[in-house]
């Protein structure tokens, strides 16, 4: 049996991203999405979520890029130090920012310089904010997949358990998500594939920690390697190679509006290309003909 969750990340990022996600669900194959509690369009996303009750909504826990929900002085290991100092001394009104980019975050995670209690507190605050808005949080994942690092995973599991959320993205993919020729079809896919293979060493610790915490998780994730370059042909290639089991396909549909162009993100024009691929009538038909059952995170248990 093959089951597939199609999850759209970044719900709440901008109004255009929100609109694209809802369309990808209503007219396409998206079954779940994860909401950014600190997103600029959070309120808009909450309102839209009420119009699509079949969309399973989780929390897209953000620990890198953007603003924290908690006061930055309480999570000093996660934010830029100069902004924490500035806020503490009362110089300026900025609430502080997370560090930009996954590279510096990864270095701090691997060198054990992240405070697990602070990660748990910030993740809990983000989950609770979404729940307080009236959304039943179905699952968790993280921006830039930071929970693949054990020092992030453990406190995230504690936060989820405390908030009654017991499902989590498995950020590790199958051994060979695409054939070699498909990995070379777009610039950057091969590099991304190699990076994910290097991090695959954490997969065993991930599975053990999730099992010990009593969480449900898919067998793995598809689509990470093609983030930013996903199109119809790559969607077909991935869909045709889905292994047995339950898998999650990660996507980032949306509209490249003025708000998105004003944000620091590399995913702009690509979101509209993904939206077209995810809403093609052939997409759902192709999955059905392949014997792949679409489910949401609500069905995972």
Segment 21-80, tens digit of pLDDT: 999 999 999 999 999 999 999 999 999 999 999 999 999 999 999 899 999 999 999 998
Residue 256 lies in a domain: yes
Comparing 181 with 111, the larger pLDDT belongs to 111
Q: Distances from the Cα of 294 to the Cαs of 1, 160, 288, in angstroms?
A: 11, 25, 8
Integer Cα distance of 18 and 79 in angstroms: 26
CB 178 within 8 A of CB 225: yes
Integer Cα distance of 85 and 91 in angstroms: 9
CB 215 within 8 A of CB 168: yes
Strand locations in 101-253, DSSP E? Answer: 140-142, 220-222, 245-251
CB 138 within 8 A of CB 49: no
The per-residue pLDDT for 293 is 95
Q: What is the distance, to the nearest Å, from the Cα of residue 8 to the centroid of all Cα atoms in its chain?
A: 8
Q: State yes or no: pLDDT of 212 exceeds 90.
A: yes
Q: How confident is the model at residue 197 (pLDDT cuts 50, 70, 90)?
A: low
Q: How many residues does the chain have?
A: 301
Integer Cα distance of 64 and 100 in angstroms: 6
Residue 101 lies in a domain: no
Residue 68 lies in a domain: no
Q: Which of 122-136, 202-216, 267-281 has the lowest mean pLDDT?
A: 267-281
Q: How confident is the model at residue 196 (pLDDT cuts 50, 70, 90)?
A: low
Q: What's the rounded mean pLDDT across residues 220-235?
A: 82
The per-residue pLDDT for 225 is 73
Angle between helix 15-26 and helix 269-279 axes, rounded to 10 deg: 10
Q: CATH no. for residue 241? A: 3.20.20.370
Q: What angle do CA 188, 230, 290 make, to 5 degrees?
A: 125
| Whole-number CA gyration radius for the chain | 18
Integer Cα distance of 167 and 58 in angstroms: 9
Residue 234 lies in a domain: yes
The per-residue pLDDT for 199 is 64
The per-residue pLDDT for 92 is 34
3-state SS assignment for residue 206: helix
Which residues, in sequence order, are CB contacts of 90 under 8 Å at separation 6+? none
Integer Cα distance of 7 and 11 in angstroms: 10
Integer Cα distance of 282 and 68 in angstroms: 40
**Residue 6, beta-bridge partner list:** 249
The per-residue pLDDT for 165 is 98
Strand locations in 83-223, DSSP E? Answer: 140-142, 220-222
Mean pLDDT score across all residues of the chain: 87
Integer Cα distance of 8 and 223 in angstroms: 11
Which residues, in sequence order, are CB contacts of 269 under 8 Å at separation 6+? 256
Residue 82 lies in a domain: no
Residue 98 lies in a domain: no
Under DSSP, the state recorded for 147 is G
Q: How many domains does the chain have?
A: 1
Residue 175 lies in a domain: yes
Q: What is the pTM of this model?
A: 0.88
What does the pLDDT look like over 79-108, one tens digit per residue?
Answer: 987 644 443 333 333 447 998 888 889 899
Which residues, in sequence order, are CB contacts of 180 under 8 Å at separation 6+? none
The per-residue pLDDT for 264 is 75
CB 43 within 8 A of CB 124: no
Q: What is the distance, to the nearest Å, from the Cα of residue 243 to the centroid of all Cα atoms in its chain?
A: 21
Residue 85 lies in a domain: no
User: Phi first, then psi: what are they for 276, rounded to 5°?
Assistant: -65, -40
CB 121 within 8 A of CB 75: yes
Integer Cα distance of 272 and 157 in angstroms: 33
Whole domain around residue 271: which residue ranges? 2-61+114-141+148-299
């Amino acid at each position: 049996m093959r089951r597939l969750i199609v999850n759209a990340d970044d719900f709440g990022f901008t109004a255009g991203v929100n609109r694209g996600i809802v369309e990808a669900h209503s007219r396409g194959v998206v079954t779940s999405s994860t909401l950014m509690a600190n997103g600029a369009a959070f309120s808009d996303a909450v309102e839209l979520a009420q119009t699509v009750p079949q969309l399973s909504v989780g929390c897209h826990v953000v620990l890198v890029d953007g603003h924290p929900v908690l006061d930055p002085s309480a999570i000093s290991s996660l934010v830029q130090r100069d902004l924490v100092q500035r806020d503490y001394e009362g110089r300026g009104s900025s609430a502080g920012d997370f560090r930009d980019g996954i590279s510096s975050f990864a270095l701090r995670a691997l060198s054990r310089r992240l405070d697990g209690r602070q990660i748990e507190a910030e993740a809990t605050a983000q989950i609770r904010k979404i729940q307080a808005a009236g959304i039943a949080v179905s699952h968790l994942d993280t921006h830039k997949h930071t929970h693949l690092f054990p020092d992030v995973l453990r406190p995230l599991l504690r936060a989820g358990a405390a908030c009654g959320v017991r499902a989590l993205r498995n950020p590790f993919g199958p051994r060979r998500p695409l054939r070699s020729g498909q990995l070379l079809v777009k610039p950057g896919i091969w590099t991304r594939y190699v990076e994910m293979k290097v991090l695959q060493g954490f997969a065993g610790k991930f599975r053990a920690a999730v099992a010990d915490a009593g969480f449900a998780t898919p067998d793995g994730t598809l689509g990470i390697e093609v983030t930013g370059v996903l199109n119809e042909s790559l969607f077909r290639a991935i869909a045709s190679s889905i292994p047995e089991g339950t898998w999650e396909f990660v996507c980032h549909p949306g509209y490249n509006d003025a708000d998105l162009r004003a944000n620091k993100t590399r995913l702009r024009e690509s979101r509209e290309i993904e939206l077209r691929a995810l809403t093609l009538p052939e997409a759902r038909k192709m999955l059905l003909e392949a014997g792949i059952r679409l489910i949401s995170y609500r069905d995972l248990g």
